[in-house]
Amino acid sequence: MTEKPSAKIDKGTIGFDWEVDQDPQAVWAALSTDEIASRWLSCKATIDAVPGGRVRFGWGDEETTEGVVTAVETGRILEYTWEQPGEDTSRVRWEIQPADGGGTRLLLTHTDLTRPQDKVKELAAGWHDFLDALVAELNGTSHTSRHDELLERYAKS
């Protein structure tokens, strides 16, 4: 696998700008379809991709993230709040664009983070691993988590 760029982390914002080989429609389906998102996020995902719709990501009894869809442009933009118990309420925004020469440019921006910088870096490592899993899902390949390796790498950045 070709290594994708690390997150840009700045003042409570995490940003990824990746190109993937699949078409924008496949990427949209992976972000907005419960069954597909559940596979690459390794959780029970519920995504009602309409303005005001609810999102819920359940990783068992111990960790659940919920939110409300705040922006949708079908096939292009999906944005929702990210509410974790005991953490800040933040915002996740996915943007899908056709890439030059084919494939998709995928931008993930997680904003409004007020948690300490080390916790922001942990979240960035988690998103990076999830994006690796998303690419594997799109390519029909398996994903081996690199979460611990990414945690270490982001902690040093």
According to the model, what pLDDT value does residue 59 have? 85
The rounded distance, in Å, linking the Cα atoms of 55 and 72 is 13
CATH of 12-156, one of 3.40.50.300, 2.40.40.20, 3.30.70.260, 3.30.530.20: 3.30.530.20
According to the model, what pLDDT value does residue 2 have? 59
Number of H helices, E strands in the chain: 4, 8
According to the model, what pLDDT value does residue 111 have? 97
Phi and psi at residue 37, to the nearest 5°:
-60, -35
pLDDT tens for 42-75 read: 999 999 999 999 999 998 777 899 999 999 999 9
According to the model, what pLDDT value does residue 152 have? 94
According to the model, what pLDDT value does residue 153 have? 93
According to the model, what pLDDT value does residue 20 have? 95
Q: Tell me if residue 4 falls in helix, strand or coil.
A: coil
pLDDT tens for 95-141 read: 999 998 899 999 999 999 999 999 999 999 999 999 999 999 999 99
Distances (CA, A) of 128 to 68, 71, 100, 122, 143: 23, 23, 23, 10, 12
Residue 53 gets which letter from DSSP?
-
According to the model, what pLDDT value does residue 101 have? 86
Q: Parse the chain into domains and list their residue ranges.
A: 12-156
The DSSP element (H or E) to which 126 belongs, if any, is helix 117-139
pLDDT(1) > 60: no
The DSSP element (H or E) to which 67 belongs, if any, is strand 64-73
